[in-house]
Structure 1
């Protein structure tokens, strides 16, 4: 079985005001088995926190980078860690 992990990704580019958080939530729900959130940051980036098995988190990260997102993604920085829990579904903030 795949280990449960926490992915934190910071997405930079033109990603606010274009439906990016909604799209991220819809994508996480489509992948299934993920909890967490997508949130706008004051500096124009979007922070995405996802918990679930590593393969599903990797799929979400690949989708964030694949160029078919709303707006324009100039880059994604990520860190991986242990799942902490505490999320009820996947939401936008």
Structure 2
């Protein structure tokens, strides 16, 4: 199982980014969460098959139609998932 933490910057809050990320993650069979950060970024933590985590990363660079993604940074994630599905907070 692969795990990653993504920080997504741009116009990613108030445009349905977290909900669209949840939909994409569920389609890929991933678990994790997406949360808005106080600095305007969205944090996405995800666990699943490596190729599916990579697929979500590619999607994060585009996001939903109303979003504008300026940057996506990937960090290693430690430990087991806290969720049994993908949730937004």
Q: TM-score, normalised by structure 2?
A: 0.91
Distance 2:79 2:48 in 1: 7
The answer to whether the 8 Å contact 1:7/1:57 transfers is yes
Partner residue, 2:44: 48
Shift of the 83–56 alpha-carbon distance from structure 1 to 2, 3 Å rule, reads farther
Aligned residue pairs, count? 88
CA contact 1:15–1:46 (8 Å) conserved in 2: yes
Show CA shifts across 1:45-92 (max 9, x none): 000000011111000001001x25241000000112445232120000
Alpha-carbon displacement from aligned partner over 1:13-44 (angstroms, at most 9, x marks no partner): 00000000000000001112x11000000000
Which structure 1 residue ranges, 4+ long, deviate > 3 Å from structure 2? none
Q: Which structure 2 residues correspond to residues 17-56 of structure 1 after superposition, within 5 A?
A: 17-32=14-29, 34-56=30-52
SS in 2 for 1:77: strand
Segments of 5+ residues of structure 2 without an aligned counterpart are none
Note if 1:79 corresponds to 2:55: no
* Distance (whole Å) between structure 2 residues aligned to residue 58 and residue 82 of structure 1: 17
| TM-score, length basis structure 1 | 0.87
Gap regions ≥5 residues in structure 1: none
